[in-house]
Amino acid sequence: MANQTIPTQAFAGQRPGTSGLRKKVTVFMQPMYLENFVQALLDVLNGCRADGPAGTALHDQTLVLGGDGRYHNRLAVQTILKQAAANGVRRVLLGQGGLLSTPAASAVIRRRQALGGIILSASHNPGGPDGDFGIKYNASNGGPANEALTEAVYARSQNLREIRCSDASDIDIDTLGVRWLDQMQVEVIDPVADYAAVMRSLFDFDLLRGMFQRGFTLRLDAMNAVGGPYAKAILENELGAPSGTVVNALPLEDFGGLHPDPNPVNAEDLIAHMMRADAPDYGAAMDGDADRNMVLGRQFIVTPSDSLAVMTAHARLIPGYRDGLLGVARSMPTSAAVDRVAKVLGIPCFETPTGWKFFGNLLDAGRVTLCGEESYGTGSSHVREKDGLWAILFWLNLQGATGRSVESLVREHWHTYGRNYYSRHDYEGIPTVIADALMADLRAGLPGWRGQAFGSRTVTLADDFSYADPVDGSVSAHQGVRLMFDDGARVVFRLSGTGTEGATLRVYLERYEADPSRQDTPVQQALAELAAVAEQVAGIRTRTGMAGPSVAT
């Protein structure tokens, strides 16, 4: 078979965002759209500059490839394989059926010492012909590519004039084993095996097996996404949880119409089950690519910020973290609950911008062991992505090791450390000009807010969050407008970097309550005053015409 060189033209806007290049499926289905981006990526990996000739750095390298199984995944896999072959890649490790969850891809890259991996996913965004598609590159540490690389890919994409592609026929991606595509070796691997080995090394599988033997009940909603096969293999097949423990376990191209974003709004069926009188002991869900998690007890929802704090407080009870934690990190908008635990434990606590890529340097440098975000993402040094099933197993192990329920673990935590009431209000689908103007005006107004009183609270700090990476010194500015108050409360504003339609404004509200007798207020009620401050400061209603947030979690 021959390599073809096909002329092409640059597409505007192929700049990767918070987690890779994410667009509507219809955008990705335009002729050459995916091909261009992949060529730009392969060119950069091959060592060429923005406008220079192609290099050959890939000729002795292995790449990992797989995705969350959404619509267009299988077609994209075939295209990428043919491009990889024509661009001199030595070997591709492909998840069977083109599937790999994001954390599993990270695990495979690390365990097999690959140069990196291409992950096809739009995470929690809806799938199907009218849904979203995405592609991201993870480097040899298993984590999202850094900005230098993604910017180089973008620059290359804007100068692209041709792509190289094999004209070989499609290969079998469903049967395990080694085959050839021209000179390139393709090994179709079990997508679960490497990941399961990592989980076995961290958790007390005997203890977990015993829990299920004694009748412990779990409902894990895989939301018809890629996490299903992982959860079934580990929980039902290996740990002996009854069959049916994992529901919506079969990955579907359109997620069966579900919005695979595990939060109380989108995982309503799980919430309904967990609120029933005969609810299982433990409930959990994952998102489209299985890197996010939501955990629940009977009639009890755990917020992600609290989850990170509780996990940090009890980490030593889990075999993989028996020796304690090097440090912890959270994204800036995530609540400060974990900061209090870190202080008591005497370990460093880092505050990074939104997006998992900022945790990578800290993990690589051995500065932190656990990290998390308010957006249902938690992870550790075992991979370089957040990891949904890992978090679910962590909480399972925690319940087994303490003999306590999810609710009692969280309530005890609030009692000891105080409660950080927390909520995120999303305003989706705002015209970009309006959202940009809102943020620009907030930024322009910053110098005036300090010392201003709102009810009983006074602003002690008003800024636009900027992060200087303690490992490589790089600075990321304009990461979110913060108003901090004298009682520890906060209001944060930022625009989403992962949406595909218009802009999404995220408003993060937080306040601290030390008194156990006042830790039981419904969250939105506890934060109503701060929501009013956000409205007063930003004028969201008037500017957007929206009566309230489209999602409040």
Active-site residues: which are they? 123
String marking each residue 412-451 x if it binds ligand G1P according to CB under 6 A: ----------------------------------------
Which one among 287, 374, 385, 469 touches Zn ion, defined by CB under 5 A?
287
Tokens standing for 303?
């917020």
Question: Are the beta carbons of 358 and 333 closer than 8 angstroms?
Answer: no
Can residue 498 be called a binding residue for ligand G1P (CB under 6 A)?
yes
Question: Are the beta carbons of 497 and 18 closer than 8 angstroms?
Answer: yes
Q: Tokens 């010492």 — which residue?
A: 113
Residue type at position 438: L
Which one among 101, 146, 224, 354 touches ligand G1P, defined by CB under 6 A?
354
Which one among 331, 380, 381, 500 touches ligand G1P, defined by CB under 6 A?
331
Question: For 236-263, b where at least 16 C-beta lie within 10 A, e where not — what string?
Answer: bebbebeeebbbbbebbbebeebbbbbb
Residue 80, H or E segment: helix 73-86
For residues 247 and 260, give the distance between their C-alpha atoms in angstroms, rounded to a whole number: 13
- Where does this chain touch ligand G1P (CB under 6 A) — which range of 3-11, 348-356, 362-370, 401-409? 348-356
Nearer to Zn ion (CB atom), residue 198 or residue 225: 225
For residues 375 and 381, give the distance between their C-alpha atoms in angstroms, rounded to a whole number: 19
Q: How many residues lie near ligand G1P (CB under 6 A)?
A: 14
- Where does this chain touch ligand G1P (CB under 6 A) — which range of 20-28, 351-359, 363-371, 530-538? 351-359
Nearer to ligand G1P (CB atom), residue 43 or residue 373: 373
Which one among 36, 123, 331, 544 touches Zn ion, defined by CB under 5 A?
123
**Minimum distance from CB of 497 to ligand G1P (Å)?**
3
Closest CA relative to residue 288, chosen from 265, 245, 258, 247: 258
Q: Could you give phi then psi for residue 202, rounded to 5 degrees?
A: -105, -35
Q: Could you give phi then psi for residue 29, rounded to 5 degrees?
A: -85, -5
Q: Which does 157 bind (CB under 5 to 8 A by kind): Zn ion, ligand G1P, none?
A: none
- Where does this chain touch ligand G1P (CB under 6 A) — which range of 28-36, 112-120, 318-326, 494-502? 494-502
Which one among 19, 87, 106, 121 touches ligand G1P, defined by CB under 6 A?
19
Cα dist from 8 to 39, 42, 178, whole Å = 11, 15, 32
**Minimum distance from CB of 39 to ligand G1P (Å)?**
25
Nearer to ligand G1P (CB atom), residue 142 or residue 377: 377
**Minimum distance from CB of 376 to Zn ion (Å)?**
9
Question: Are the beta carbons of 351 and 342 closer than 8 angstroms?
Answer: no
Tokens standing for 244?
């049916």
Region label for 143, one of left (φ > 0), alpha (ψ between -120 and 50) or beta (otherwise): beta
What residue number has its CB nearest to Zn ion?
A: 123
Nearer to Zn ion (CB atom), residue 264 or residue 488: 264
Residue 314 CA, chain-centre distance (Å), reads 23
Sign of CA dihedral 526, 529, 534, 535: positive
Residues 365-394 that bind ligand G1P (CB under 6 A): 373, 375, 377
Q: Which residues are near ligand G1P by CB under 6 A?
A: 18-19, 123, 331, 354-356, 373, 375, 377, 496-498, 506
